[in-house]
Amino acid sequence: FVNPGLLFSWVSDEVFRKPTFARFCSLLDNYNPNEDYKEVVTEEERQEQAAFIEEVSRTAVIKYLVIKDVAPGSYQEFKRMLTSLWFDLYGRGGTSGSSSAFEHVFVGEIKQSGGEQVSGFHNWLQFYLEEAKGNVDYQGYIFPRRRGEIPDSETQLLTIQFEWNGVLKSVSSTLVGVSPEFELALYTMCFFMGREENHIQLS
């Protein structure tokens, strides 16, 4: 691992004023990170989920999935499916209703079994906000394997190590600087491709 310190030195406030970014960030404090904690979803949180899905569904990248028949059904059915896919609760770590795809991928969880470790937590906005609060200790990146290049300000896919609330995430990949709708569309597309490994070229 190379170059420990802060991962982010600065992110413009303009980013958080963009509608999909603002709706996304409103969801990040809706979860208890402990994997054995049964989540309780309030009506306000359901409204935040609905507002986020509505906002991202207006974007070209989400509409692309409907146009290209990546997901089945009508536009309205697709929005309902997105809500269910990302926000329905399921069991993890032996506790029912303790997790959702959104919490795992974007927010992060702390596994208790077999020693504490961070699970999920792949979103750069969550990382930036948690680092700004002092909850994340960034411990460096791994050199990109194939390209043999050093990450710079233009690099978007990083493999990093960090501690979150004192718990280690030894290896994590994150796409830096992308929009919430881009990540949601990308991972939803992978889900519908239905394979264990999906090879995607980002350019």
Provide the annotated active-site residues: 104, 122, 169
Rounded Cα distance, 75 and 160, in Å: 37
**Nearest Cα to Cα of residue 60 among 182, 186, 191:** 182
Q: Rg for the chain (alpha carbons), in Å?
A: 17
The answer to whether 130 touches 33, Cβ cutoff 8 Å, is no
Q: How far is CA 171 from the centre of its chain?
A: 15
Query: What gap in Å lies between CA 66 and CA 63, rounded to an integer?
Result: 5
